[in-house]
Chains A and B, each alone.
Chain A
């Protein structure tokens, strides 16, 4: 199978603090890859490196077949990114936001118009069309942000805790959107600290204190650790590392 993301011996240090300690993993094309861990475990740091927002201290990083050190421009053309802050402009309307983001990816205005109509129908935004983004409900903002991150049809989409602070029903709907894109052959790289969401992923890694503590399909992991759900595994791993340290 084609590899979308390849990470070998990735290390990222901030001074003496090691945020990512020797990470190794591969993500296949079309996979929904979950990146789990507590706050401060190093998830966001790793995602930032994959997106080119940050440079690794050492190690090999390949995204969409391009090298993160030398071909970051090529990578940028092929990825979409949505952060936990949603990243839409509050004081612009839905259409203006879509037009702006389409514009920075160099899409033609005809294509942007077509996409705008498509999103508005697909997300049932007709009633909100003329409103500023700050007046939209959180769930709608989040779905819109996802669509916008997808506007240039990237092959990999990075989602950094996209569902934090959103109610369970909206989270479920959001995952439907993710699946729809995955079915089209897109690779989804999603970080979360909701353990129930891990069940939706094809494969997950659990990060604890900058290291990858577990990696595999949710079912395999549950079997290996003899656990009923991912949450149990996570607690087991987190406590295990803590007691090793003390």
Chain B
């Protein structure tokens, strides 16, 4: 067993490809997702066509321009300028303030502003429009306080657990899950498939060492490395992205370890059905990566999916783990809050182990 683990470590450290998958990809991914794939929009370039040009309209323009979401790129003078500025591509939104803006505002009639957004990217457009609306509401409220008291309901919204709506809070648990899953499952399945390909697996099976020992010897090094990986990701997410750690770190790491074991069991299962490294690699990529990204609620909310996909998402181990990570990190959940999800992952682990053993025995009698 000890010799087995030493040998496995030697092989991992000597194989640059393994090392890259193990440590390069996780760090690159967390950085990529954290920085580049930031869904928060900052500094969108906009233009304003101010027809009123009085004190209030200028105040409104300034309020827009001073928010961190927008950069006022140009003041357009006429209707014609709108099309031209969109064409150039830099301007994502144009705000038109009508002539009677101040008058209507003073009369309490409700002033209109026109917002034209570049919807060639619909998501960006709708986010920008929402930002604009929020600023307009804010402006209106400050006006009304100055003027007269019209009783209106103003919702005071608080976004709990992520007050500033940072998308990084959503990405980190997702990335954490994907990396643990991919690295653990892919690395074990590839390394077991490699033994089969080289023919060394036969030698191991002919020796008195038990299959369980072979599997443990293969898996233990990856448990350790994946665990180090998990820690690195968490440290990065804390120091670089300011992820909060509201719950117990011990609980988070324990759940992480459980998820790693689950992924390894899945990896062993994949390797029992694939005979070459390539098959193992492809299987783990397509069978794991895509469903994990698409169906775990990491990027697309599960509630928005067709019912049948919602059912399928239930068999994604990653879905449950993402819930656990989010609950612990953001909401400070304790074990009693996540025991159900934990139980689901434990049963999935057992399921894959039993399945692999079955598969293994069948292979012996059919070979």
Contact = CB atoms under 8 A, between A and B. Distances in A.
Given A92-B7, A103-B4, A106-B208, A87 B365 contact: no
Nearest to B15: A91
A104 B3 contact: yes
B3 A89 contact: no
A55 B4 contact: no
Contacts of A55: 364-365
Contact of B198 (A51, A85, A102): A85
B42 to A, nearest CB: 48
B198 A52 contact: no
A99 B199 CA distance: 18
Residue of B200, B206, B364, B366 most packed against chain A (CB within 10 A): B206
Interface in A72-117: 73, 76-77, 79, 81-92, 96, 99-106
A48 interface: yes
A85 B7 contact: no
Nearest to A100: B7
Contacts of A85: 198-199, 202
A96 B7 contact: yes
Contact of A83 (B7, B15, B202): B202
Interface string A35-58: 000000000000010011111000
B interface secondary structure, majority: helix
Contacts of B15: 91
B212 interface: no
Nearest to B8: A100
Contacts of B2: 103
A51 B201 CA distance: 13
A92 B365 contact: no
A103 B7 CA distance: 10
Given A54-B367, A91-B15, A103-B4, A86 B207 contact: no
B10 interface: yes
Residue of B4, B202, B204 most packed against chain A (CB within 10 A): B202
Contact of B207 (A54, A99, A104): A104
23 contacts: A48-B367, A51-B206, A54-B364, A54-B365, A76-B208, A81-B203, A82-B203, A83-B202, A83-B203, A84-B199, A87-B198, A87-B203, A89-B198, A91-B14, A92-B11, A99-B3, A100-B3, A100-B4, A101-B207, A102-B3, A103-B2, A104-B204, A104-B207
Interface of B: 2-4, 6-7, 10-11, 14-15, 198-200, 202-209, 364-367
Given A55-B365, A81-B202, 11 more contacts: A53-B205, A73-B208, A76-B207, A87-B200, A89-B11, A89-B200, A92-B11, A96-B10, A101-B207, A104-B3, A104-B208
8 closest pairs, A vs B, by CB? A103-B3, A85-B199, A81-B206, A54-B367, A76-B208, A87-B203, A100-B7, A104-B209
